[in-house]
Amino acid sequence: MKVDLSIVVPLYNESESLEELSSWIAKVLDKSSLNYEIIFIDDGSNDNSWEIIKTLQLDNAKIKGVSFRRNYGKSAALNVGFSIAIGDVVVTMDADLQDSPDELPELYKMIKNDGFDIVSGWKKNRKDPLSKTIPTKLYNSVTRWVSGIKLHDMNCGLKAYKNEVVKNIEVYGEMHRYIPLIAKWAGFQNITEKVVQHQARKFGVTKFGLERFVFGFLDLFSITFIGKYGKRPMHLFGTLGTLVFVIGFMFLFYIGIDKVFFNKGAKLIANRTEFYIALTSIIIGVQFFLAGFIGEMLSRTSPNRNSYHIKEKLNINE
């Protein structure tokens, strides 16, 4: 059966919100002519989230689910959800009711009718405390500058994708924050954003602390490097190594010529500061070059990064 829209919902200990979220999604989409599926990815919850999902599926056959044996993180949950999704358009949203299902029909139209590869939500009017909104603004400003993607809210959980996009990217580690950037490196350039509703948290507490902003910046530089040089590390390290080596060699050549032809009676070469600058530069240059060579070999032989232990699946056809 053809599926128009897949909604992928990663979750961790969100038992209080699942019934309301499922009902809200169904209420919105049942009014449309869209055939849809809801894919819950239980990321190792230790409450009764999975039992609730199984109960909900009894009343709605469009619900599917995967339960991990332990908590692997949001990136792992999204990656598995993407592999399962069969809809022409794939939408991701959080399970805490802060993302509004009322946005789903418009997000679908922007992908299907307007031809965008990705539509990223922009929580312009956030219902969060200043301790969260101020670091978020800083994080997004730096991300726009480094990535070149002009999105106001890169980490918004509410995003829509062409199915082709999610089938051609790999999300691992904590890289879910940068899916638009990963997609850009994969050749999907038609990215836009949509102002979306942001609901105040109704149940529980946020699963993310301030440390995510520190990790976020580290991940940003990591994904930028991987995107540019992941398949060709020698281009970066080899270039740096050659440049530093040449600088060292030029210093060594200079002090050699100076000693032989101009200052024969001067102090020994080994006692000159320039000699140690040259020697250090040559050693560092060689190390950079070797790092690029080793990285090149590793990039061509590295196995699949993703390995998850799934406890149970629900309504998944394989």
From residue 29, alpha-carbon distances to 21, 159, 185, 309 in Å are 12, 17, 32, 32
Distance (Å, rounded) from C-alpha 115 to C-alpha 219? 29
Which residue bears the tokens 């990790």?
215
pLDDT for residue 13 is more than 60: yes
pLDDT, tens digit, 9 for 90 and up, residues 225-279: 766 666 677 777 888 888 999 998 888 888 888 777 777 666 677 777 788 888 8
Confirm if 71 and 32 have CB atoms less than 8 A apart: no
Structure tokens at 286: 């060689």
Q: Edge to edge, what strands does the sheet with 5-11 contain?
A: 191-195, 118-122, 159-162, 89-92, 5-11, 36-42, 63-68, 310-314
Banded model confidence at residue 90, pLDDT cuts 50, 70, 90 = very high
pLDDT, tens digit, 9 for 90 and up, residues 144-161: 877 778 888 888 889 999
Highest mean pLDDT among 1-10, 198-207, 243-252, 288-297 belongs to 1-10
pLDDT for residue 93 is more than 70: yes
pLDDT for residue 207 is more than 60: no
Structure tokens at 276: 């140690």
Around Cβ 311, how many Cβ atoms within 10 Å?
12
The per-residue pLDDT for 307 is 60
Around Cβ 176, how many Cβ atoms within 10 Å?
22
Around Cβ 234, how many Cβ atoms within 10 Å?
18
List all residues 6 or more positions away from 224 whose beta carbon is below 8 Å from its beta carbon: 146, 147, 181
For residues 210 and 274, which has the higher predicted lDDT (pLDDT)? Answer: 274
Lowest mean pLDDT among 30-44, 193-207, 301-315: 301-315
The per-residue pLDDT for 61 is 92
Banded model confidence at residue 87, pLDDT cuts 50, 70, 90 = very high
Q: What is the pLDDT averaged over residues 19-47?
A: 94
Confirm if 238 and 289 have CB atoms less than 8 A apart: yes
For residues 280 and 255, which has the higher predicted lDDT (pLDDT)? Answer: 280
The per-residue pLDDT for 270 is 74
